[in-house]
Amino acid sequence: MWTLPEPMLAAAAPDARLPAGWAAEVKWDGWRALLSWDGGRLVLRSRQGTPLASAFPEVRAGAVQLPDGTALDGELIVWDEAGRLAFERLQGRIQRRGGGAALLAAEWPAHYVAFDVLRLEGVDTLRWPYVERRAALEGLFAGRGLTAPWALCPSTTEQATVDEWLTSWTAVGVEGVVFKRLQGPYAPGVRAWKKHKVRHTEDAIVGAYTGPAAAPRTLLLGRYDAGGRLRFVGRTTTLPQSAGRALAGLLTPATVHPWAGWSFSAGWGSRETLHVTLVDPELVVEVGVDVARDSGGRWRHPARWHRARPDVTPGEVPVAD
């Protein structure tokens, strides 16, 4: 019996230049998922192998549109009311089953954005070059007239189109692009694709830190909203030791703080609570961030340290969304 392979993976690309002999696809802010439809049975699993079919009844119902003996690789995504990708809504659906999953499917319907075909009508396509798999995938969508929850991931061999995606599409939460060699097969578990994430720098206010006072390990960052409340917007990656030591003299432990009594998670999906030291929200720092946000405007991925900005006052930092 045919079983789903491990997903093919991507290594970081140094820039957004499309190499000769490669194609580019949109990189979505969603949940990687592989699926197979065989004998009326849907298998839908995450990159780590977690079964997902029960959590997404709309995908299970839509599987009848697919020909028997078909397997796809793609991304589960959810859009919010403003037309942005809403990862936190997707995250909230993973653990729901039964009636709870059905209610969320009606409220926050997911789409499955297919970017590769691994099997088509019983024919294994893993060894086919990307250009042939892509043609087969496009033929599947056109020939079967696939509709929601199915969506076809855009693909291009034009640099101008890549540039357009990275300037215009990031406004709705697209993370970047993935490059795939035109003549490359689908190699399970191998990092033979390349990915480029859009990143830029932004200013934020240090509200707390983790680690020792002499050399903070990470920073918890905030921005004031229109009502004058300091909102948590994200956390940095681990600081270079030199940066941590230099910051120690710029941070003042707080006696009164708007975040007093708050708890902070160690990360998405983690139940671990961070031990933090609150500081007077006076120091502004510049960090590198990508486009992934939750509905509250928080940066979903850790921000990369860039530099301290003692020359900038907290009042000059942009207001939180």
The mean pLDDT value for 95-108 works out to 89
Interval 262-305: pLDDT, tens: 999 876 555 678 999 999 999 999 898 886 777 667 888 889 89
Backbone angles phi, psi at 232, to 5 degrees: -75, 130
CA distance 248 to 212: 9
Among 27, 180, 194, 197, the active-site one is 27
Burial of 235 (0-12, 13-18, 19+ CB in 10 A): buried
Interval 16-56: pLDDT, tens: 999 999 999 999 988 899 999 999 999 999 888 889 999 99
In angstroms, the Cα distances linking 130 to 17, 96, 125, 162, 289 are 19, 35, 10, 18, 31
DSSP 3-state assignment of 200? Answer: strand
In angstroms, the Cα distances linking 207 to 148, 283, 306 are 43, 8, 17
27 is catalytic: yes
Domains of the chain plus CATH, in order, are 12-186+193-197 (3.30.470.30), 199-316 (2.40.50.140)
Interval 149-201: pLDDT, tens: 999 999 999 999 999 999 888 878 788 999 999 999 999 999 999 999 887 77
Mean residue pLDDT of the chain comes to 91
* DSSP-derived secondary structure for 196-240: EE-EEEEEEEEEEEES-TTS-SEEEEEEE-TTS-EEEEEEB-PPP
Contacting residues for 169 by C-beta, under 8 A, at least 6 apart = 26
Interval 195-212: pLDDT, tens: 998 877 788 999 999 999
